Amino acid sequence: MRPLRNARKPSAGLTAAGMAGLVALTIAPSLSVSSENTTAAPAACTKASSYDKVTPHANADGARMKWVLRAMTAPDAASGGFTAQLILAGTNFYDTSQDWVELGATQGWQGQNIYTYYTAQGSASGGYSEQRITAITPSYGTTHRFAAFQRLGLPEYWASIDSNGYWSWPGKSPNTVAYLGGHETTCGEQAKVNRTYVSENEFRRLSDGVWVSAANGQLNSPQGYGSIAWCSSPVTFRHWMRSDLDPSLCS
């Protein structure tokens, strides 16, 4: 998985061809935290994640997962922190830690403690950019399909929610040699992610565009703050961090 960032970075190098309803954001200036309208970040905040990583068993040009949106907290949101549920697809024949497109729902966005959809990309050359999706609004308890895949044979990947494309990232081509889904946070010591059930876990086969269920998967929770478990290996799973919901259930 890619290195988690201490704060979301600004968009860089994007074309002007933005999709309607999606706003390109610039990064917030250095924050001078005031007790009048913000909450200071916790004294200790460690980046943490829990995720299932899949290696497609055929050439692939994208991936998708479907999950239930659950409540999350980001104690360090005022200082640029976040907690997110996401899918991340490797691009340009690189692993997910090197070149990727991601999308999902985040609590905490560039210094604001808000809940929103977003998409982002990273490149092997070290570039990173992200966009907030504002055309639709996430709601706890609802189920949605998140997909990142090649657009019409072009060197770009769509970021799609429920079969609607909300952003296109240029400079992205197959293969998707790996993808992952789960949660990440910038404050593993205190953040919360209620049990999230992932009911669909697929990659798109490059040869014919057919979506195919994962035939393998590796569950990871490297920092130990969150948890992840199979529901029906190697496709469906659940992940959580200090959940208010019973973590043993697959729903």
Average pLDDT of every residue of the chain: 87
pLDDT in tens, 114-157: 999 999 999 999 899 999 999 999 999 999 999 999 998 899 99
What span, in angstroms and rounded, lies between the C-alpha atoms of 85 and 251? 16
The pLDDT value recorded for residue 43 is: 64
pLDDT interval class at 5 (50, 70, 90): very low
What span, in angstroms and rounded, lies between the C-alpha atoms of 201 and 204? 11
Give SS3 for 237: strand
Contacts of 105 (CB under 8 A, 6+ apart): 69, 72, 84, 85, 86, 115, 116, 117, 118, 138
- Output the six-digit token pair for 146: 């998140």
Question: Topology of 41-241 in CATH?
Answer: Jelly Rolls (2.60.120)
* Number of residues that this document lists for the chain: 251
The pLDDT value recorded for residue 40 is: 52
How many Cα atoms sit within 13 Å of 80 on the Cβ side?
15
Contacts of 35 (CB under 8 A, 6+ apart): none
The pLDDT value recorded for residue 31 is: 27
pTM score, whole prediction:
0.84
pLDDT in tens, 73-103: 999 999 999 999 999 999 999 999 999 999 9
Q: What is the Cα gyration radius of the chain?
A: 17
pLDDT in tens, 25-75: 322 332 232 333 344 555 689 999 999 999 999 999 999 999 999 999 999
Residue 12 has pLDDT above 70, yes or no: no
Candidates 82, 74, 80, 78; CA nearest to 34 is: 78
